């Protein structure tokens, strides 16, 4: 049985990053007003990890800007329009994933993507870099929190750093965080929210915070709301001996989720006239193959074989010149792109927390595999990010079964693969 250790919370002065709260392995240090100085609370290894994440994400983003340039971002223009009280934009006409309603044109995106852009849209000098900045603002904290996430679920010593390194550099979180794309932003947002949810679950399990994290994840990636089923039921079940406590827990957990669902419904209603219409079933598609697939249903079992092929079986494209293989823009096997995910199997199914995580993974994966669109353009299978945080927690649970070098080799292969994918998307 894996033992979980609750982290001690510290009260931090203004200006100290909140992520400091979650890092364990605190080093002795000088004191400030009777308490250790905040910047001394991280161990040397923790500080190096924080710096490595910051440096790698900034460098990768700078390279992405160098390769792709600072181009006008249609999401930023929509955010500018939203500041004036309108969600439609005539300039969207003819572009992919736009919806025409009564002569007005809307972009079929989620509310959290738009909200992230609005602060940058409000400052003209930041509009060109805003798309890249939003990815970093969510991706870097999510990567930082990979270390406390690993420790919260049982990873100790070097294993915690290896799992954190995989999450930060060897999962598609790295890839989606550095390219300034509104579709990729949604994955970074939900990844951060789910990571915070899992850390809270391993700690105090305050229902209102758990519900809030899942609500935020839903506003970015609606598929993630299905994780509320196993965790919510278990939360209520553990309070069954006292009816009042059970009711309070259920309400505290459910209200933030209900609020997020209501807000998303309102966002859909003001654009498309129905709270149940996200826009993806009626948006403009430019690829005939996607049009044919969507005609069979936005979600349908007929899409499972193709999505399964993309997620597990698709190999790189063969090309005539060196290196003779190239990533497919339609997607590749997640086990080829991030092979360290295989170590999640080490967790097994006997541990109670592992069972919850596996159930959540499967439930969130169901709509992903039923969906008509596979994630084009992408490196790997980016929709797998909807359930990757649960797999990372499972990796940590199973880390006590690590042999050593095989798992480290898988992590290094994952990091090399994702770095290569960043270069590929940049046209290198």
Segment 323-350 shows an average pLDDT of 93
Is the pLDDT score of 416 beyond 60? yes
Residue 42's pLDDT band (cuts 50, 70, 90): confident
Assess if residue 322 is contained within a domain: yes
Residue 373's pLDDT is 85
Query: Where is pLDDT greater, at 370 or 7?
Result: 370
Sign for the CA dihedral angle at 66, 68, 73, 75 comes to: negative
Q: Residue 15 pLDDT > 50, yes or no?
A: no
Q: Is the pLDDT of residue 31 over 60?
A: no
Q: Is residue 16 pLDDT above 50, yes or no?
A: no
pLDDT in tens, 251-268: 999 999 999 999 999 999
Q: How confident is the model at residue 9 (pLDDT cuts 50, 70, 90)?
A: very low
> In this model, does residue 203 exceed pLDDT 80?
yes
Split into its structural domains, the chain has a count of 1
pLDDT of 73: 87
Q: Which domain holds residue 182?
A: 18-425
Average the pLDDT over 132-157 and give the result: 97
The pLDDT of residue 375: 79
pLDDT in tens, 94-136: 999 999 999 999 999 999 999 999 999 999 999 999 999 999 9
Interval 203-216 mean pLDDT? 97
Identify the bridge partners of residue 273 per DSSP, sorted by sequence position: none
Quote the pLDDT of residue 5: 46
pLDDT at position 74, please?
92
Q: ∠162-167-170 over CA atoms, to 5°?
A: 85
Query: Is 171 part of any domain?
Result: yes
Q: What is the pTM of this model?
A: 0.90
Flag whether pLDDT at 6 surpasses 90: no
Which has the higher per-residue pLDDT, 36 or 32? 36
- Kindly state whether residue 13 falls inside one of the protein's structural domains: no
* 3, part of any domain: no
**Structural domain contains residue 400:** yes
Average pLDDT in the 66-70 region?
A: 92
Percent of the chain residues topping a pLDDT of 70: 90
pLDDT of residue 261: 98
Q: Is residue 5 part of a domain?
A: no
Pick the range with the lowest mean pLDDT from 3-7, 64-68, 101-105, 182-186.
3-7
Indicate whether 283 pLDDT > 50: yes
Residues 6+ apart with CB under 8 A from 319: 325, 326
pLDDT of residue 33: 47
Residue 53 has pLDDT above 50, yes or no: yes
From residue 138, alpha-carbon distances to 262, 291, 402 in Å are 23, 32, 30
For residues 146 and 327, which has the higher predicted lDDT (pLDDT)? 146
Which residues is 106 bridged to in the sheet?
A: 99
pLDDT score for 13 = 44
Judge whether 199 lies within some domain: yes
Specify the higher pLDDT residue, 12 or 386.
386
pLDDT for 337 beyond 90: yes
Q: How sure is the predictor about 281, in pLDDT bands with cuts at 50, 70 and 90? A: very high
From 181, 232, 170, select the one nearest 414 (Cα to Cα): 170
**Residue 18 pLDDT > 80, yes or no?**
no
| pLDDT recorded at residue 7 | 43
What average pLDDT does the chain have? 90
Could you tell me the pLDDT band of residue 29, with boundaries at 50, 70 and 90? very low
Does residue 136 form part of some domain?
yes
């Amino acid at each position: 049985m894996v033992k979980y250790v609750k982290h001690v919370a510290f009260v931090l002065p203004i200006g100290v990053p909140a992520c400091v709260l979650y890092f364990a392995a605190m080093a002795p240090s000088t004191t400030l007003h009777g308490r250790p100085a905040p910047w001394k609370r991280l161990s040397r290894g923790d500080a190096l990890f924080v710096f490595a994440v910051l440096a790698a994400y900034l460098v990768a983003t700078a390279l992405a800007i160098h390769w792709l340039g600072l181009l006008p971002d249609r999401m930023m223009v929509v955010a500018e329009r939203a500041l004036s009280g309108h969600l439609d934009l005539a300039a969207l006409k003819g572009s992919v994933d736009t919806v025409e309603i009564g002569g007005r044109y809307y972009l079929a995106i989620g509310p959290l993507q738009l909200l992230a852009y609005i602060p940058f849209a409000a400052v003209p000098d930041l509009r060109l870099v805003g798309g890249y900045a939003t990815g970093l603002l969510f991706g870097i904290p999510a990567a930082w929190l990979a270390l406390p996430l690993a420790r919260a679920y049982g990873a100790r010593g070097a294993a915690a750093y290896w799992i954190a390194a995989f999450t930060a550099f060897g999962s598609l979180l790295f890839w989606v965080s550095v390219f300034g794309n509104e579709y990729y932003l949604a994955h970074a947002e939900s990844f951060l929210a789910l990571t915070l949810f899992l850390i809270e679950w391993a700690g105090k399990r305050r229902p209102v915070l758990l519900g809030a994290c899942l609500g935020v994840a839903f506003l970015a990636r609606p598929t993630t709301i299905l994780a509320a089923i196993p965790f919510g039921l278990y939360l209520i079940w553990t309070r069954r001996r006292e009816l009042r406590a059970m009711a309070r827990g259920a309400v505290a957990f459910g209200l933030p989720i209900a609020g997020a669902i209501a807000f998303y419904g309102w966002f859909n209603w003001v654009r498309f006239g129905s709270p149940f219409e996200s826009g993806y079933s009626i948006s403009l598609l430019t690829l005939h193959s996607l049009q044919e697939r969507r005609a069979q249903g936005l979600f349908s079992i007929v899409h499972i074989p193709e999505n399964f092929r993309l997620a597990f079986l698709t190999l790189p494209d063969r090309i005539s010149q060196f290196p003779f293989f190239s990533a497919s823009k339609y997607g590749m096997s997640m086990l080829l792109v991030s092979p360290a995910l295989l170590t999640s199997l080490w967790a097994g199914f006997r541990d109670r927390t592992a069972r919850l995580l596996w159930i959540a993974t499967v439930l969130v994966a169901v709509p992903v595999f039923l969906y008509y669109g596979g994630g084009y353009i992408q490196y790997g299978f980016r929709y797998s990010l909807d359930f990757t945080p649960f797999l990372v927690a499972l990796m940590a649970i199973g880390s006590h079964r690590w042999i050593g070098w095989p798992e480290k080799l898988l992590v290094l292969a994952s990091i090399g693969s994702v770095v290569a994918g960043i270069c590929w998307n940049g046209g290198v």
